[in-house]
Amino acid sequence: MLTQDEIKQLVAKQAAELVQNNMTVGIGSGTTIYYLIRELGKRVKKGLFFRAIPTSKKTAALAAAENIPLAELNAVDSIDLTIDGADEIDGSLQLIKGGGGALLQEKMVAAASRELLILADYSKLVQHLGKFPLPLEVIPFGWKQVQKNLRETYQIEAALRLQDDQPFISDHGHYILDCPFDRIDNPDILSYDLNAIPGVVDNGLFINMADMALIGYPDGKTETMNK
Ligand code: 5RP
């Protein structure tokens, strides 16, 4: 039986094979994507040429260490393929992302992509989104007003994400509120409503964005889910 880490390596290896010469590829963030970057690095060493649009500073640093050429989103018109991870995936490929705090840049890169492929181990598959607390990226100024709004509107106590006892700061200088919805029945409506709260930059619901998901299992099998 494969460990969770080995499953991540398995799906990363399969996904790396989809990257072809001269493509522009969005590279997600997180531990699964770490293995993808390592695989792509091996392929670059063997002569593969593509340019990567990273979704976080961490991904940019990991890709640079593998000699993967990087480009900024502003430098390209569109992206051929983005490969990213997820925190939850439902049966219609709706996602919760942002466990690593990179949701804003991840969503912008995904939106600019012709195809979004999600890599995950089977534990990320859910019937209903929401058990994983939904990350909400907020402006630090007045963030407690957003927390109050969520308390009054949804009766939830959103937690300010911390790192070393200090507020976690995203790559774009924002805070993250983790929202324990428990069960999200209408993710598209919730996503729209959350983004309308003053001070909210974006939320971790990725609605109708993923085209495909590659799911890995402990027995070494993988399953492809299509939109
Ligand atoms: C980061 C993300 C990641 O894709 C998500 O948290 C999954 O990460 P991992 O592969 O480490 O489980 O959305 O913002």
Fold of domain 4-123+207-220: Rossmann fold (3.40.50)
Same fold for the domain at 4-123+207-220 and the one at 134-203? Answer: no
Query: Within a 10 A sphere around the Cβ of 208, how many other Cβ atoms?
Result: 12
In which band, very low, low, confident or very high, does the pLDDT at 182 lie, cut at 50, 70 and 90?
Answer: very high
| pLDDT > 90 in the chain, percent | 100
| Residue 78 CA, ligand 1 centroid: distance in Å | 23
**3-class secondary structure per residue, 70-94:** ECCHHHCCCECEEEECCCEECCCCC
pTM of the model as a whole: 0.98
Q: Is 116 in the pocket of ligand 1 (CB under 6 A)?
A: no
In which band, very low, low, confident or very high, does the pLDDT at 225 lie, cut at 50, 70 and 90?
Answer: very high
What's the confidence (pLDDT) of residue 101? Answer: 98
What's the confidence (pLDDT) of residue 224? Answer: 98
In which band, very low, low, confident or very high, does the pLDDT at 220 lie, cut at 50, 70 and 90?
Answer: very high
Reported CATH class of domain 134-203 = alpha beta
| Ligand 1 nearest atom to the CA of residue 8, by list position | 10
CA atoms of 59 and 45, how far apart (whole Å): 18
Q: Is 32 in the pocket of ligand 1 (CB under 6 A)?
A: yes
> Residues with catalytic annotation?
106
| Ligand 1 nearest atom to the CA of residue 204, by list position | 13
The structural domains of the chain, with segments of one domain joined by +, span 4-123+207-220, 134-203
CA atoms of 49 and 45, how far apart (whole Å): 9
| pLDDT > 70 in the chain, percent | 100
